[in-house]
Amino acid sequence: MRLFDRLANLLGLKKKEVNVLVVGLNNSGKSTVINHFKREDDRCIDIVPTVGFNVEKFASFDMSGHDRYRSLWEHYYKDCQGIIFIIDSSDKLRLVVAKEELDMLLQHPDVASRKIPILFLANKMDLPDSLTTVKLVAGLGLDRIQNKPWHIRATNAVTGEGLQPAIEWLTDQIRDIYINNKR
């Protein structure tokens, strides 16, 4: 069973819609993560950079990470029930940029005032010299996020390693907050 179908089943969402925003800098692996969850016959063989955004049928919004398109992210904050923030753990030079984008996301009124769960995927952990999740938590200042549930998971979007437990965490959070009304 496809993972996003499982997400819908676990949440009892056959008739409800859950919107998950997928963001991160360009080349972090957003489209590859989403492609991994598609049915085999719907998957793209060649992943190309997203220009603007893609909306998949399971209501995930794959937002371009190019700097000129990052301003589009905020238009989707209000209607999402979860955020997946993907980090290229091998791109040490742009960790500061990722932190700046995360800070802007967290300060936006449509996010700051809500207990929206944020899943951080430390992608490309298989590459040499990639940062550990502990170093990413420190570098992004994740320990200062006090008013939202968050979780970080080391992943490899190409092989799918680490993705299932990460999505299960997000599923549980969305169910607890939005379905069971534990806001």
Q: pLDDT tens, 11-36?
A: 554 546 778 888 888 888 877 787 77
Q: How far apart are CA 183 and CA 163, in angstroms?
A: 26
Q: How far apart are CA 66 and CA 78, in angstroms?
A: 21
Ramachandran sector of residue 124 (left: φ over 0; alpha: ψ -120 to 50; beta: rest) = left
The confidence score (pLDDT) of residue 27 equals 81
What SS3 class is residue 21? strand
Q: What is the pTM of this model?
A: 0.78
Q: What are phi and psi of 172, to 5 degrees?
A: -60, -40
> What proportions of the chain, in percent to the nearest 5, are helix, strand and coil?
40, 15, 40
Q: How far apart are CA 181 and CA 106, in angstroms?
A: 22
The confidence score (pLDDT) of residue 5 equals 58
Fold of 3-179: Rossmann fold (3.40.50)
Given a cut of 50, whether residue 51 has pLDDT beyond it is no
Given a cut of 60, whether residue 144 has pLDDT beyond it is yes
